[in-house]
Amino acid sequence: MKGNSIGNNDNLKISLYQCIIILMAFFTTSASLFNLIPSLLVRNILAIFTLLIVIILLNGRRVNKKLLIYVLFMLLISIYNNSTISNYNIISRNVVTYTLYFTVVLMCCISTIRIDWVSTYLEITMWICCFYGIVTIIFYFTPNFYKNNIIPLFPYNADRLLYWYNSGSMPGLTSHYSTNAVLISIGIIILFSRIMVKKGKKRDYVLLLIMIIALIITRKRAHTVFVLAAMLVLYYFSSGKKLGKRIFKMVGAAIVVGIIGVLAYKYFQPFQELVNRFVEFANSDDFTNNRTRWWKVAFDNFKLHPIIGIGWGRFYDLCGKTTGYYANTHNVFLQLLCETGIVGFLVYMIWFVKLYFTSIKLYKNLKNEEVKKSIDNRSFIKKKYFIGFSVVYQTFFLLYCFTGNPLYDRETFIPYFVSCMISIYYSRNNRVLNMEMKNGM
């Protein structure tokens, strides 16, 4: 009977892990389509159900106490004076975002024990993101179909969607072309990470090309630059240990990219339009795209509440009342200062910096393990794939923090914390392995 009980518990945990994988991929990629679920209450319940699964999985597990305390402190900062919680507004749209945020941050504690589910999460997410990229290209060539059938799905943003489409910025199957660019960028990052460990197949190269074309026709400058920069970072650390060899390969990559860019500019109109947007940006008097008004509101309120800030999520309404336009700051670091003060800002900056450099260190250390990969080749390839994704995505995320709101959008913060989970897991495993080797000696 006891054996059956243990077996049932194991089966339950496996089922819960499978459930969390599907839900995490769904919440990452559903984007604007999530709003098509007719009842806001149903959406909120679905998010709360996801959080409950994570709490059940955490129950009874031995987790790193220091990590747990730090994670709980991060959550406390996001709960303190939170606009949704303070107003007891359980039927708010923000409930989904905050609940999922709590979920993925808590999942970082589970990641010290197992990480095998990440492979399925990345696979599902990659294919759905590829779907967004493919339909973006299809809609580009079928304007009548897009205007008659897709825009009506998002009536609350119909005028802007029509304007973006007519100006050449493809929103695809989302209600905002920035959201579309984010999902396409995630797909590119996963595909590139696969290819860099020779895990990718010919199919992945074809998909990567399709996704790059899709990103170009969104005409999003920041996403294009940040994705390219993130890929170059991984390529740099994959180019051998010697500095000379790395520089040589980077120069070679720059020449290849430059040649492709010249040809694309000559023969591919959407790329011309994207480059022209960069030229307009360079010649513009306001390189911030009129965001300084939001930054001023954030900094002025930080000066009024420098220690603990005005409360998580409060900038959005404050900005609307002050400027007449409801928006986040489009600079995560400024918004953290405004909403969480110096205390919260330092807590998150320590997390950002520590996890990023941990990821890079882990990836660099893979070179030392590569000579042993013949012992367990599949395990090594998976590890390199996961850590490679972690480096690329964290680079993209942190760069995007300067011009966007990735810490506050589920499409971006879910994969970010997944990338953090990867680094936490392998970092802990390396420490345990080193301790075992010392004890053995």
Same domain, 129 and 167: yes
For residues 75-103, give the mean pLDDT: 76
For residues 118-125, give the mean pLDDT: 94
- Between 2 and 214, the higher pLDDT residue: 214
Q: What is the pLDDT of residues 188-199, one digit of tens each?
A: 999 999 998 875
Q: Which of 250, 272, 291 is the last residue of a domain?
A: 291
Q: Which of 291, 322, 356 is the last residue of a domain?
A: 291
Q: How confident is the model at residue 87 (pLDDT cuts 50, 70, 90)?
A: low
Contact of 331 with 291, CB cutoff 8 Å: yes
Q: State how far the alpha carbon of 285 is from the alpha carbons of 59, 272, 281, 289, 290, in Å.
A: 55, 22, 8, 9, 10
For residue 200, count CB atoms less than 10 angstroms from its CB and return exposed for 0-12, middle for 13-18, buried for 19 or more. Answer: middle
Q: How confident is the model at residue 378 (pLDDT cuts 50, 70, 90)?
A: confident
- Between 40 and 295, the higher pLDDT residue: 295
Q: How far apart are CA 173 and CA 206, in angstroms?
A: 21
Contact of 31 with 411, CB cutoff 8 Å: yes
384 Cβ neighbours under 8 A, 6+ residues apart: 196, 197, 363, 366
Same domain, 218 and 282: no
Closest to 228 measured CA to CA, from 244, 216, 210, 241: 216
Q: How far apart are CA 221 and CA 368, in angstroms?
A: 37
For residues 363-389, give the mean pLDDT: 79
- Between 323 and 385, the higher pLDDT residue: 385
Closest to 366 measured CA to CA, from 234, 217, 218, 182: 234
What confidence score (pLDDT) does residue 286 get? Answer: 63
Contact of 317 with 284, CB cutoff 8 Å: no
Q: How far apart are CA 142 and CA 134, in angstroms?
A: 13
Same domain, 270 and 233: no
Q: How confident is the model at residue 406 (pLDDT cuts 50, 70, 90)?
A: very high
Two structure tokens written together for 311: 């409360």
What confidence score (pLDDT) does residue 373 get? Answer: 52
How many Cβ atoms are within 10 Å of 329's Cβ, its own excluded? Answer: 25
Q: H/E element holding 12? A: helix 2-29
In single-letter form, the type of residue at position 369 comes to E
Q: How far apart are CA 15 and CA 47, in angstroms?
A: 18
Same domain, 370 and 279: no
Number of domains the chain is built from: 2
- Between 200 and 222, the higher pLDDT residue: 222
Same domain, 72 and 208: yes
For residues 148-153, give the mean pLDDT: 96
Q: How far apart are CA 71 and CA 7, in angstroms?
A: 31
Two structure tokens written together for 396: 């993209």
Contact of 389 with 119, CB cutoff 8 Å: no
How many Cβ atoms are within 10 Å of 167's Cβ, its own excluded? Answer: 11
Q: Does residue 8 register a pLDDT over 60? A: no
Same domain, 222 and 251: no
Contact of 387 with 426, CB cutoff 8 Å: yes
Q: How far apart are CA 256 and CA 264, in angstroms?
A: 12
For residues 280-303, give the mean pLDDT: 80
What confidence score (pLDDT) does residue 437 get? Answer: 40
What confidence score (pLDDT) does residue 334 get? Answer: 96
Strand, coil or helix: what is 130? helix
Same domain, 66 and 157: yes
Q: How far apart are CA 319 and CA 352, in angstroms?
A: 26
What confidence score (pLDDT) does residue 58 get? Answer: 79
- Between 103 and 269, the higher pLDDT residue: 103
Q: Which domain holds residue 314?
A: 2-238+292-440
For residues 45-64, give the mean pLDDT: 82
Owner of token pair 């459930």: 19
64 Cβ neighbours under 8 A, 6+ residues apart: 109, 112, 428
Cα dihedral: 168, 174, 180, 184 (round 10): -120
Q: Where are the alpha helices (DSSP H) in 111-220?
A: 117-141, 143-145, 158-167, 177-196, 202-218
Same domain, 203 and 301: yes
Same domain, 284 and 223: no
Q: Which of 291, 310, 332 is the last residue of a domain?
A: 291
Q: Does residue 104 register a pLDDT over 60? A: yes
Which of the 8 DSSP states describes residue 148? I
Contact of 338 with 301, CB cutoff 8 Å: yes
Longest dimension (CA), the chain: 75
For residues 119-134, give the mean pLDDT: 96
Q: How far apart are CA 100 and CA 46, in angstroms?
A: 10
Same domain, 325 and 279: no
For residues 159-177, give the mean pLDDT: 94
Same domain, 300 and 364: yes
Q: What is the pLDDT of residues 221-237, one digit of tens each?
A: 899 999 999 999 998 88
Which of the 8 DSSP states describes residue 242? S
Same domain, 252 and 310: no
The answer, as to whether pTM is greater than 0.85, is yes
Per-chain mean pLDDT for the chain: 85
What confidence score (pLDDT) does residue 207 get? Answer: 95
Closest to 58 measured CA to CA, from 9, 11, 107: 107
Q: Does residue 109 register a pLDDT over 90? A: no
Q: State how far the alpha carbon of 224 is from the alpha carbons of 197, 259, 270, 271, in Å.
A: 23, 17, 13, 11
What confidence score (pLDDT) does residue 241 get? Answer: 66
Q: What is the pLDDT of residues 311-360, one digit of tens each?
A: 998 998 888 888 888 889 999 999 999 999 999 999 999 999 999 999 99
How many Cβ atoms are within 10 Å of 145's Cβ, its own excluded? Answer: 11
